[in-house]
Amino acid sequence: MRDNVLPEEFFYDLAAKASDRMMEELPSEEELSQRLSFSPAFERRMELLFANPKQARAHEHRAWRVLAIAAVIVIMLITALMSVSAVRQAVFKFFTTLYEKYIVVWYAPEDNALTAPETILEFREPEYVPPGYTLDYAEKTELFHFVYYL
């Protein structure tokens, strides 16, 4: 039964022959250069990669580092500015003034949109309008009602 087993050297020779055959089937450098053309940017990156792989990897991550540093600086600046009460009050005053003049209320029903009616049967006015606001513009169609208060 041991006679049917092939020697290990046979497999090494077979692998070497298969490898040589595959290498012979590959096109030559001249054929490849005729078939393929790479962009100058790609060739520059490849030269950089082969010249110094560590430098190439550092070059790829440089943009992320700059972005992270900028984010940290912005966060530190906002934190420092918001710790000053005069600046904090000015920012809050700006936003409260802005949103006192203009308010948007979006209403989305909790029901599934597929069960919504195709036309609006009943229009309901807002129950509460903040003091000082008056109706400026209203548009009513079968599909929507738009009301703008100033």
Dist. CA 22–CA 58, nearest whole Å: 36
Per-residue pLDDT averaged across 54-77, rounded?
82
Report whether pLDDT(144) > 80.
no
CA angle 53, 54, 55 (to 5 degrees): 90
pLDDT at residue 1, as a whole number? 46
Instruction: Give the model's pLDDT for residue 119.
Output: 65
CA distance readout (Å), 134 to 93, 107, 127:
23, 20, 13
Q: What is the mean pLDDT of the chain?
A: 78
The answer to which of 58-67, 116-125, 128-137 has the lowest mean pLDDT is 116-125
Q: Is the overall model pTM greater than 0.75, yes or no? A: no
| Pairing assessment for the beta strands 135-140 and 145-149 based on DSSP bridges | antiparallel
CB-side exposure of 135: number of CA atoms within 13 Å? 8
